[in-house]
Amino acid sequence: MRLTICLGFYFSFYTFVTGQSLDKTTITKWYSETKSNGIIIQNSFPKGGPYTGLTNKNFNYSYLVFFTRVLNETSNPLELIINFSADSIAIPYSPDTFVKLFLPPDTMTLDKQYLFSYGVTELESFDKPTSLQRTINPNEECLFYVVAIFYQTRATAQNQRRGGNRAELVLEGQDLFYRMPPQINSLSCGHVISKK
C-alpha cells in the first residue's frame, strides 16, 4: 500500500514538473504581429536598461533591445534589406533628448529570448550607419535585433519622459518602416522584394 502511494505521488509529481517546462523555440506573446501577402512580421517587447559604456559623461544614456522575426510563407525567396543611419532622432515633448537606432552584429535566435537584453553584447556600433541584407527562402525565417540608444544632452525636469518602450517593423507594399511611438511615427528603413 505504501509503495502504491509513493509511486502514485512520484508519477503525479513527475507529470506536473515535466508539464511546466517552457518551449524555448516559440514566443508566447509578441508586441505586434502582422501578415501581408504571405509575409509575417513579429516584433518583441523591449529589454534594456542604463548604458554606461560611453566616454561622454556629460550625457545620460539608456538603451532598449527589440528583436524582429520575419517569416516567408510565400512560394518565392524574399530579399530583406534594412538600413539605419547614424543620425540622432529628436524626441518630441522631451527637450534635449534623442534616440539612435542601429542593427548590432549579434545573431538573434529564439533560444535567446529569455536572456538579459535578448543576448545582445555589442552596443558600440550605434555611431555609424548599420544595415542588414538577407535572403529568406520559402518557409524560412529571419531574426534580427534593433537597439535604441537614448541620450540626453541636458537633464532637466522637462525632459524626463523618454518614451519608446514599444517598437515595430511594419511592411507597406514592399517598403519597410520602423515605428516607436511617440518618437518615431514612420521611419523609412528598407524593403522586402520577392525574387521571382
Q: What is the DSSP string of 26-77?
A: S-S--SEEEEETTEEEEEPPPEEEE----S-TTSEEEEEEEEEEEEE-SSS-
Among all chains, which residue has been given the C-alpha cell 520602423?
Answer: 178
Q: Compute the average pLDDT of residues 79-95.
A: 89
Within 10 angstroms of residue 106's Cβ, the number of other Cβ atoms is 20
Among all chains, which residue has been given the C-alpha cell 523618454?
Answer: 162
Average pLDDT, the chain: 81
Q: Is the dihedral of CA 22, 23, 25, 27 positive or negative?
A: negative
HSE-up (13 A, CA, CB side) for residue 29: 4
Q: Compute the average pLDDT of residues 73-85.
A: 97
* pLDDT higher than threshold 60 for residue 5: no
Within 10 angstroms of residue 59's Cβ, the number of other Cβ atoms is 15
pLDDT, position 41: 96
Q: Compute the average pLDDT of residues 72-91.
A: 94
pLDDT, position 75: 96
Q: Compute the average pLDDT of residues 5-16.
A: 36
Contacts for 47-54 with beta carbons within 8 Å, 24 or more apart?
47/116, 47/117, 47/118, 48/117, 48/148, 49/117, 51/123, 51/149, 53/123, 53/124
Residue 5 or 153, more confident: 153
Collapsing DSSP to helix, strand or coil, 150 comes out as strand
Within 10 angstroms of residue 89's Cβ, the number of other Cβ atoms is 18
Q: Where are the alpha helices (DSSP H) in 20-166?
A: none
Express as a percent the part of the chain with pLDDT over 70: 78
* pLDDT higher than threshold 90 for residue 188: yes
Q: Residue type at 116?
A: F
The tens digit of pLDDT for each residue in 110-159 reads 999 999 999 998 888 788 999 999 999 999 999 999 999 988 887 665 55
Beta bridge partners of 132: 82
Q: Compute the average pLDDT of residues 39-53.
A: 90
pLDDT, position 176: 97
pLDDT, position 154: 77
β-strand pairing of 168-172 with 97-102: unpaired
pLDDT, position 26: 62
Q: Compute the average pLDDT of residues 168-188.
A: 90
* pLDDT higher than threshold 50 for residue 16: no
